[in-house]
Amino acid sequence: MPNQKTEPILEVKGLKKYFKVKGLRRKSRNHQVKAVDDVSFTLHKGETLGLVGESGCGKSTTGRAILRLIEPSEGRVLYRNEDILQKSNKGFRKVQKEMQMVFQDPFSSLNPRIRIGESIKESLTIHSIGNRKEREEIVINILDKVGLRPDHYYRFPHEFSGGQRQRIGLARALVANPSILILDEPVSGLDVSIQSQILNLLQDLQDEFKLTSLFISHDMSVVRHISDRVGVMYLGKVMEEADTDTLFSNPVHPYTQALLSAVPVPKIGKKRERIILKGEIPSPLNPPTGCIFHTRCPYAMDICKSKVPEKIQIQDRHTVACHLYS
């Protein structure tokens, strides 16, 4: 596991993405959905940070905002100490080569009429890497790295299974030799046996390509398997962040404790008491005041309804936003 002494390669500071939503009635005022609200974290070289939380917590929006697939409302994203949100389109294109995204459904981003080899090659053409012959060689080499054959170059997207399509997604992301991968639910749509094949492949590729990764998932078990550190998100905010072993053995935020109580314990005879949270996740259109988790928290106090808890460090590399610890 990379330690904190390795250089930070990506620093996300106070990232916000607010969406304007029009009121239903003609004269009603506009609302804001705070999809990502003041998210900060640092990725060190070679490390994998898992971003986990229930559907709609803002984890995918965070990944997309970092890559400017949607423009953030506020905040800074420093790649090797340079704020990439301040770059012109031309300047940002150079950074794009270094930061690639893998989506849950790679099929939707593939043109059904273009052969797979050509689709993978696109990124090399965009970034002017190699001549025609060299590009083909690079693509055949990357097909091999992700466990596909050279003849797959000439096939069309519909000829591949779900697992093979995710291998193609990885090949497309890796072909230009990036430094950072942002993976958004990359194994969610796959059978469990295929999931583990893709996760193992991903780990091998991370080692071989010396990648730094942000791994976004709703699945705690998957995140535990792949991540060095984990950030837990709820309604657009990071509630707790720690090294994976620490987070799974000593979760301190009530929300993390509830999420983990639903994960099966691998040891026979060992049981974890399930914490059932009351109510539904509140609407992001009208989030609770104070601590956004107070409407569901079993330990909520008066202060939680009015004061937003600050993120505090309770141990080395272990932070939490909760009044129980302030």
Q: Which residues bind ligand SF4 (CB under 6 A)?
A: 254, 291, 293-294, 297, 299-301, 304, 309, 322-324
The least distance separating ligand SF4 from the CB of residue 139, rounded to whole angstroms, comes to: 49
Instruction: Indicate the residue among 225 and 323 with the shorter CB distance to ligand SF4.
Output: 323
Instruction: Indicate the residue among 52 and 175 with the shorter CB distance to ligand SF4.
Output: 52
Return the structure tokens found at 28: 């009603």
| Under 8 Å between Cβ of 77 and 43 | no
The least distance separating ligand SF4 from the CB of residue 12, rounded to whole angstroms, comes to: 22
Return the structure tokens found at 255: 């929300």
The least distance separating ligand SF4 from the CB of residue 321, rounded to whole angstroms, comes to: 7
Instruction: Indicate the residue among 95 and 258 with the shorter CB distance to ligand SF4.
Output: 258
Lateral strand order in the sheet of 237-243: 99-102, 180-184, 212-217, 48-52, 229-234, 237-243, 318-321, 311-315
The least distance separating ligand SF4 from the CB of residue 232, rounded to whole angstroms, comes to: 11
Which sign, positive or negative, has the C-alpha torsion 21, 27, 28, 29? positive
Name every residue whose Cβ is closer than 8 Å to that of residue 229 and which is 6 or more positions away in sequence. Answer: 47, 48, 49, 50, 241, 242, 243, 244, 247, 317
Instruction: Indicate the residue among 15 and 291 with the shorter CB distance to ligand SF4.
Output: 291
The least distance separating ligand SF4 from the CB of residue 297, rounded to whole angstroms, comes to: 3
Instruction: Indicate the residue among 245 and 310 with the shorter CB distance to ligand SF4.
Output: 310
Instruction: Indicate the residue among 199 and 308 with the shorter CB distance to ligand SF4.
Output: 308
Instruction: Indicate the residue among 135 and 294 with the shorter CB distance to ligand SF4.
Output: 294
Return the structure tokens found at 240: 């707790």
β-pairing verdict for 318-321 and 237-243: antiparallel
Instruction: Indicate the residue among 60 and 295 with the shorter CB distance to ligand SF4.
Output: 295
Using alpha carbons, select from 62, 98, 63 the residue that is nearest to residue 79: 98
The least distance separating ligand SF4 from the CB of residue 75, rounded to whole angstroms, comes to: 23
User: In whole angstroms, what is the distance from residue 267 CA to residue 212 CA?
Assistant: 31
Q: Decide: helix, strand or coil at residue 223.
A: helix
Place of tokens 């591949």: 160
The least distance separating ligand SF4 from the CB of residue 260, rounded to whole angstroms, comes to: 14
Name every residue whose Cβ is closer than 8 Å to that of residue 288 and which is 6 or more positions away in sequence. Answer: 282, 294, 295, 305
The least distance separating ligand SF4 from the CB of residue 294, rounded to whole angstroms, comes to: 4
First to last CA, the chain: 29
